[in-house]
Every structure is written in structure tokens, then in C-alpha cells.
Structure 1
Amino acid sequence: MSRHMFFHREIDKLKKGILNLGGMVEVQVRNACALLGKYDEQAARELMNSDWKIDDAEIAVEEECLKVLALHQPVARDLRLIIAIIKINNELERIADIAINITKRLITIQKHTPVNFSFDYQPMAEQVLEMLKISLDALVTEDATLARKLFVMDEEVDSMRNMVYREVIAEIQGGNTAGATGLVNLYLIARHLERIGDRTNNIAEEIIYLVEGEIVRGGGEAV
């Protein structure tokens, strides 16, 4: 096998690895969001205990990237691809961690239930899950236009988080101090969902860099 063919086989292996990780993370986020609608303590504990699988997959992708860099010293677009995979790999692992944080908040809320207060997270959760799916689709297809769609969607998630914040503050100011711990954790769930949206934005930026060779930050602005 020629060196060129071996290199591209390694690249294909990297792509499969990052997409496999993406699929695992998408399942983890979906499972965490499902708990928002129907809390199940056993399912929550199982989700928290499964995080090591994603950590191992993330480490495997990073090690493979470093090996390809050391052995082949890629340049131009191939180098951009590996850099993008390294960064997206880290973003996906952090998204999985945030899903675990959502689960931890839910466990806390069960112990400190807010009085006469609830919030429907379904629209926000669905938006964030769609953003994660789009980010992975954009990665597979190397579609910068699709990736840029996430910047607009992220603004909508930010608005939803702000709405939760206002409702929680109003509830506390209205005298619901007995449920303050639960209320704070309810807001933090919204904050965690918003952070997942931010991380998918970061993935979008890396996809644009890969496809166009342009570094963008803060909602698609070139730097």
C-alpha cells in the first residue's frame, strides 16, 4: 500500500471515529432531555454512569489525530481537517458533560422541589437537539451554509434561556424562597441547554474553517 493510500485510510478512520462519537453524544443529550419531561431516577443514574464510554471515545479520536499528524505531517486542507476534528472532538465531549450536568440538576431538584412552579423545557430541548443534529450533518457533508444556520438558531435558544431566567427571578421575588434551591437549579438547566447550543456553534465555526479556510467567531463574523 502506498503512503498516499495509507494516509487517506487513516483520514477515513478519523472521520468514522468523530462521527461515532457524535452519535454517542447525540444519544446522551437526547436521553438527558427525555428526563426533563419524565424524570426517572434509575435512568438518570445509569446515564451518569455511562459517561466513561464517551470519554474513552474522545481520547481515542485525539490519539489518532496526533498519530496522523506525527506520521504524515499533513498540509493545507488535510491539516485543516485534522485541526477541525481535534477541536470538534473536544466540543462533543464537553456537550456530553453538559448532558450529565443536566441530569445532576434534576436529581437535586427532586430533593428541593420548587413550590407551585414548573417550566416546559421541551421547545428549548428540541431546538438544542436539532442544532446538535445539524452540526453533525454539516460535518458529514462538509456544508458551511448548513453550519451557518446554527448561528441564527442559537439566538433563539438564548432568548429561551432569558425567559427562564425572568420567570425564576419573578418567582423568587414573589416570595417563593422556600423553593429557592430548586428554582436556581431550574434556571441552571436552561443555562446548560444554552451552553450545548453554544458548543454546536463552535462546531459550526470549525466546519466553516475546514470548508472555506476562514476563521469565524461570534455568530459567523470573520476574524
Structure 2
Amino acid sequence: MNTGHIVTSFDKELDDIHTLIMRMAGLTESQFAEALDALCRMDAELAQKVRANDAQIDDLERELEQEVVRLIALRQPMADDLRSAISALKIASDLERIGDYAKNIAKRSIAIGQVDRKPSFSPIARLGRLVQAIFKDTMDAFSNRDINRAIDIWHRDEEVDEMYTSLFRELLTYMMEDPGNITACTHMMFIAKNIERIGDHATNIAETVYYLETGEQIEGKRPKGDTTAFEV
């Protein structure tokens, strides 16, 4: 038996899975950016494009799942290699959910475009830029197997929650001041929550990167700053 050939083939399969994850991440990042752009520019055509392109992310997730299942069944990986396979499935699931939230943002932006009175998009754009930066750093951490960056991302989740809580209160104030703002602000609240959840899934990926490299979970409870559940 040519053991060297088997090892080389196995390494290539792991590399192919890594490539699929990065392709999926690139498309997801683009979807999120375009969903935010469609919202801020009230571009219904771009929003529809984002909604339509979500199927590509779903297709990549299915392809990646098939590759991982096949690898596990044929190669029966152990230790680090098994962690790589399991981590790939977890990351793909988080990326798929991020894609879904981007699609939801696009859907809500179309609805806001049909409302006469619109709130300022500046606060939600700031939240979006923060989460975009975190998502980019997350995938860089995965690509470079950088656990220090992964831990930093894990702590930055609290910053996202605090900004989201502030935006939630601001939108709530607009709604209380004038009932005419309720429709648009309600859509904006859902969009803000979608963005906050994208941040959560990026943090999930950071936790997976740490697990992938160490075989352990990050110690401690994830820092949280979202207090909207207690808002009146």
C-alpha cells in the first residue's frame, strides 16, 4: 500500500474543504455588504439580487457537507483531522445562517422603501460596519489558524451587543414620539437584530477556530451586552 499517496490524497481533500469554506465565506461577506448597501441606498434591485443569490450559499453548504461526510466515511480521520472535518461543518452552518440574515435585511429594505417616512440609516450603517469588520477578522483568523485573533473577536461580541441595544432604544424613542414612525422603525429593529445575530454567528466561528486549534472551548462565559430583553 502506498501510504504516502494516501496521506497526500487526504491532505488534498482537507484543502478542498478549506477552499469551499473560503468560497462560501467570500460569497456570504459579499451578500452582507450588498444587503447593507441596498438598505442605505434604498436600492430595491440590489436587494432582490441579494435575495436571489442566497441559494448559492445554500448550494455551497450542501456541497461542503457532502465532502465532509464522504471524507469521514472513507478516511475515518482521527484527532486533529477529525476536528478539522467537524469544524468545517460547524462553520458552514454559521455561514449559511449569516447568509439567511443578509437575505432578511434585503427583504426588509424593500419593505422600508415602500414607506413614506424613513428614519436615518446612519446608526444602523455603523452597526453594520462593525459587524462586517468582525466577520472579516473571523475568517482571517480561520484562514491563518490564529487563536489570539479568535479570542479578541470573542470579546468584541459585547461591543456589538451594546451598539445594538443603543440603536434599539433610539428606534423605540422614535416610535413613542410619533406613531407615524412605527412601520419603518419596526422594520429597522428587525434589521438591527439580524445584524446583531450575524455578529453572534461570526463569534461562533471564532469559537470554532479556537476549538480547531486547541481541542478545547474558550474558557468563561461569552461577554454579552444586549439588554433589550429588559426594555419596556
Tell me, yes or no, whether TM beats 0.5. Answer: yes
Which position in structure 1 is the counterpart of 2:201? 199
Which position in structure 2 is the counterpart of 1:107? 110
Conservation of the 8 A alpha-carbon contact between 2:174 and 2:181: no
The alignment partner of 1:179 has SS state of helix
Which position in structure 2 is the counterpart of 1:156? 159
The alignment partner of 2:180 has SS state of coil
The alignment partner of 1:50 has SS state of helix
Distance 1:42 1:119 in 2: 18
Conservation of the 8 A alpha-carbon contact between 1:114 and 1:178: yes
Which position in structure 1 is the counterpart of 2:226? none
User: How far has the Cα of 1:218 moved from its partner?
Assistant: 4.2
Superposed CA offset, 1:108-127 (max 9, x none):
11223446x32412221111
Conservation of the 8 A alpha-carbon contact between 2:134 and 2:202: yes
What number of residue pairs does the alignment pair up?
A: 218
Conservation of the 8 A alpha-carbon contact between 2:44 and 2:113: no
Q: How is 1:9-28 mapped onto 2 (pairs within 5 angstroms)?
A: 9-28=12-31
Q: Could you say if the C-alpha distance between residues 30 and 185 of structure 1 is closer, same or farther in structure 2, counting changes exceeding 3 Å?
A: same
- 2:47 paired with 1:44: yes
The alignment partner of 2:179 has SS state of coil
Please report the RMSD computed on the Cα atoms of aligned residues, expressed in angstroms.
1.5
Conservation of the 8 A alpha-carbon contact between 2:50 and 2:102: no
What percent identity do the matched residue pairs reach?
A: 33
Which position in structure 2 is the counterpart of 1:78? 81
Which position in structure 1 is the counterpart of 2:8? 5
Counterpart pick for 2:58 among 55, 60, 75: 55
Structure 1: stretches of 5+ with no match in the other structure: none
- Give the structure-1-normalised TM-score: 0.93
Which position in structure 2 is the counterpart of 1:127? 130
Counterpart pick for 2:38 among 30, 35, 38: 35
Superposed CA offset, 1:1-24 (max 9, x none):
622221111111111111111111
Distance 1:213 1:219 in 2: 18
Conservation of the 8 A alpha-carbon contact between 1:131 and 1:200: yes
Distance 2:175 2:181 in 1: 8
